[in-house]
């Protein structure tokens, strides 16, 4: 029996979650289920209950909750020895000891863990600019919003490769920022999508993401890859960050994403030797 909490899937049994408290019926159904399909959103309680009751849960969010936020991404990359820009992590602004801002090489990128869609990301070129950014972060800490990172600024050619992972399927495209000097390449920050440029570099980026997914179990995310153009040879791919909640415009919008998601879930179910729910997947596999 496939138990679904995702509004786009019926499963053999469907349960609407919508942030409510889990009850005994949820636990009983999860224990009976051969697989559980989770809804979108940050739902650690539902995920923990599902994986404690059932061996097959989609998506695999173990890395999402073990390595939270942007600092968690860096810790995950480090643990598996995967290439990423040089980064220093800080839990509080007070941990950024006197002299640190004077000792590092500029330019750097400073990111707060609370940022999304390119917000709270700053390129700074000197200690005075960095100190102003940390002043903003210090004010946020008074409200309990904390942790940030300082990262080497790479010559990325004003673009980032977004690789969307759905089960074992990878879809890649460039997010290009036409405004020179602006480090945010997000579409919300004025970037645009380029599907076709440099297919050989896109393949290198997808290959790096495959290594990350094989090491971490990640099977539903939008993963950003930078290419460092500073060296004399071919640009080197580096992992930038993992987005478990990601925009869909580069995939063709919500309808196409749901089609790709359904295909990915179908293949995930079949890979486990399970029966496809007839309402979701009518045809020869029922």
User: Domains of the chain by range and CATH?
Assistant: 2-58 (no CATH), 86-152 (3.30.1490.20), 159-254 (3.30.470.20)
Cα distance between residue 215 and residue 79, in whole Å:
10
* Backbone dihedral region for residue 187 (phi beyond 0: left; psi -120 to 50: alpha; all else: beta): alpha
Answer yes or no: is pLDDT of 284 > 70.
no
Average pLDDT, the chain: 93
Answer yes or no: is pLDDT of 283 > 60.
yes
- pLDDT tens readout for residues 20-78: 899 999 999 999 999 999 999 889 999 999 999 999 999 999 999 999 999 999 999 99
Mean local confidence (pLDDT), 214-234 = 92
Lowest-pLDDT range, 64-68, 82-86, 124-128, 192-196? 192-196
**pLDDT in the model for residue 286:** 44
At 220 the three-state DSSP class reads strand
Answer yes or no: is pLDDT of 155 > 90.
no
Could you tell me which of 81, 149, 158 has the C-alpha nearest to residue 109? Answer: 149
Cα distance between residue 56 and residue 61, in whole Å:
12
Bridge partners of residue 237, in order along the sequence: 227
- pLDDT tens readout for residues 165-214: 999 999 999 999 887 767 766 676 677 889 999 999 999 999 999 999 99
State the pLDDT confidence band at 116, using cuts at 50, 70 and 90: confident
Answer yes or no: is pLDDT of 98 > 60.
yes
Higher pLDDT, 93 or 233: 93
State the pLDDT confidence band at 234, using cuts at 50, 70 and 90: confident
State the pLDDT confidence band at 285, using cuts at 50, 70 and 90: low
Cα distance between residue 123 and residue 107, in whole Å:
7
Mean local confidence (pLDDT), 137-165 = 93
Could you tell me which of 158, 152, 146, 148 has the C-alpha nearest to residue 192? Answer: 158
Could you tell me which of 108, 153, 110 has the C-alpha nearest to residue 126? Answer: 108
Place of tokens 């070129």: 125
- What pTM, to 2 d.p., does this model score? 0.92
């Amino acid at each position: 029996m496939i138990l679904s909490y995702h509004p786009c899937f019926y499963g053999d049994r469907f349960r609407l979650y919508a942030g409510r408290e889990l009850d005994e019926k949820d636990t009983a159904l999860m224990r009976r289920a051969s697989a559980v399909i989770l809804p979108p959103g940050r739902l650690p309680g539902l995920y923990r209950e599902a994986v404690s009751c059932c061996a097959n849960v989609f998506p695999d969010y173990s890395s999402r909750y073990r390595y939270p936020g942007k600092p968690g991404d860096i810790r995950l990359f480090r643990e598996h020895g995967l290439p990423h820009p040089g980064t220093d992590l800080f839990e509080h602004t007070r941990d950024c000891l006197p002299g640190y801002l004077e000792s590092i090489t500029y330019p750097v990128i400073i990111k707060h863990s609370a940022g999304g869609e390119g917000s709270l990301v700053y390129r700074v070129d000197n200690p005075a600019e960095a100190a102003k950014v940390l002043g903003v972060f210090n004010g946020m800490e008074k409200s309990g919003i904390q942790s940030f990172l300082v990262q080497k600024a790479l010559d990325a050619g004003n673009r980032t490769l977004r690789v969307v992972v759905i089960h074992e399927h990878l879809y890649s495209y460039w997010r290009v920022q036409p405004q020179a000097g602006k480090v945010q390449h997000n579409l919300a920050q004025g970037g645009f999508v380029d599907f076709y440029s440099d297919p050989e570099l896109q393949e290198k980026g997808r290959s790096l993401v495959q290594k990350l997914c094989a090491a971490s179990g990640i099977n539903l995310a939008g993963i950003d890859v930078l290419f460092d153009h500073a060296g004399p040879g071919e640009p080197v791919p580096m992992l930038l960050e993992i987005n478990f909640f990601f925009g869909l415009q580069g995939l063709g919008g919500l309808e196409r994403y749901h089609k790709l998601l359904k295909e990915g879930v179908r293949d995930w179910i079949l890979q486990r030797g399970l029966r496809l729910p007839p309402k979701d997947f009518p045809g020869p596999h029922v």
